[in-house]
């Protein structure tokens, strides 16, 4: 319960910032913490009704890199859109019903810092 309440707050805050952005560049900045919260939630609670893919692009934010959660195994990069739509790779597959458990800490991702 506490895990979800913490993620819910992060997700709600990130969505507000994302929707309040006027420029696509700003939207992409706010998309990263939203993605991180969704990924941590899926890793901990598991996928429901489908398989999720954790994708990574090494070129986001001046080559710092960033992750996103996708329903597709095919790379469709939300950070660069049509400029570099296929840039990235799937780093993790979260299958239906498989999570680390709601009482466990989410797994740490490479380059993921709080």
For 69, the domain range is 2-94
Q: With contact defined as beta carbons under 8 Å apart, do 88 and 77 qualify?
A: yes
3 state DSSP class of 91: strand
Looking at residue 1, its pLDDT comes to 66
Looking at residue 105, its pLDDT comes to 44
> Residue 101 falls within a domain, yes or no?
no
What's the pTM? 0.76
Looking at residue 98, its pLDDT comes to 61
> Residue 30 falls within a domain, yes or no?
yes
Looking at residue 5, its pLDDT comes to 79
Looking at residue 39, its pLDDT comes to 94
> Residue 79 falls within a domain, yes or no?
yes
Q: With contact defined as beta carbons under 8 Å apart, do 80 and 87 qualify?
A: yes
User: What is the spatial distance between Cα 24 and Cα 58, in angstroms, rounded to a whole number?
Assistant: 19
> Residue 40 falls within a domain, yes or no?
yes
Number of structural domains in the chain: 1
Sequential pLDDT tens for the chain (114 residues): 677 778 888 888 889 998 999 998 889 888 999 999 999 989 988 888 889 999 999 999 999 999 999 999 999 999 998 999 999 999 999 998 766 554 444 444 544 433
């Amino acid at each position: 319960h506490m895990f979800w309440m913490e993620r819910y707050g992060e997700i709600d805050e990130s969505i507000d910032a994302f929707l309040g952005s006027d420029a696509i560049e700003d939207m992409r900045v706010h998309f990263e913490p939203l993605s991180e919260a969704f990924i941590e939630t899926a890793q901990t609670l598991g996928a429901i009704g489908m398989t999720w893919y954790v994708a990574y692009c090494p070129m986001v934010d001046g080559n710092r890199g960033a992750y996103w959660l996708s329903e597709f195994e095919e790379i469709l990069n939300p950070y660069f859109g049509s400029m570099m739509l296929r840039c990235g790779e799937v780093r993790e597959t979260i299958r239906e019903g498989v999570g680390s458990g709601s009482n466990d800490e989410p797994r740490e991702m490479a380059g993921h810092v709080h």
